Amino acid sequence: MSQASGLVDLLSKLLQVIFPGSALIDAFLKDSNLNLLSHILIVGVACAIVLPWVHDKVWALCAIKVEIEPRSEEHAHMTTFLEHLGPQCLSQRVRSDECSRRSTPEEADRNGWFNWKIVEASQPYKFRPSKTCYFLRKGHIFRFERTVQSFEFYSEEHFSISVLGWCRAPTERLLKEARAQHLLENESRVSIFTPGGKAVRQSERPWRLMKRKHPRPLHSVFLDGREEFQNDFHGFMRGESSYIKTDRPYRRGYLLVGPPGTGKTSLVLAAAGTFGLDIYILNLRSVTDDELQMLCSRLPRRCILLFEDIDSAGIHREKKRVAQEDNQNNNSITLSGLLNAIDGVSSSDGRVLFMTTNCQSELDEALIRPGRVDKVVEFGLASKKQMESMFLHMYPDEDSANLAILAASFAARVPESQYSPADIQNHLEVQSPGEAVKSAPKQFPIKNGLSGGE
For residue range 217-259, list pLDDT tens digits in order: 898 898 888 999 999 999 999 999 998 899 888 999 999 999 9
Q: From CA 168, how far away is CA 189, in angstroms rounded?
A: 31
Mark 51-71 as b/e (b = at least 16 C-beta within 10 Å).
eeeeeeeebeeebeebebebb
Q: What angle do CA 333, 336, 339 make, to 5 degrees?
A: 95
pLDDT along the chain (454 residues), means of 10: 60 61 56 60 77 84 88 83 69 49 52 64 66 84 85 74 88 91 82 83 79 87 90 92 90 94 93 92 88 87 91 64 49 82 82 92 88 92 92 85 89 92 91 92 80 46
Mind listing the domains of the chain with CATH numbers?
2-61 (no CATH), 64-187 (no CATH), 207-378 (3.40.50.300), 384-449 (no CATH)
Q: From CA 452, how far away is CA 134, in angstroms rounded?
A: 69
Host H or E run for residue 376: strand 375-378
Contact 252, 352 (CB under 8 A): yes
Nearest to 56 by CA among 65, 45, 43: 65
For residue range 133-174, list pLDDT tens digits in order: 888 888 888 988 888 877 665 677 889 999 988 888 999 999
Contact 146, 130 (CB under 8 A): yes
Q: From CA 449, how far away is CA 112, in angstroms rounded?
A: 44
Q: From CA 342, how far away is CA 212, in angstroms rounded?
A: 25
Q: Say what the pTM is.
A: 0.71
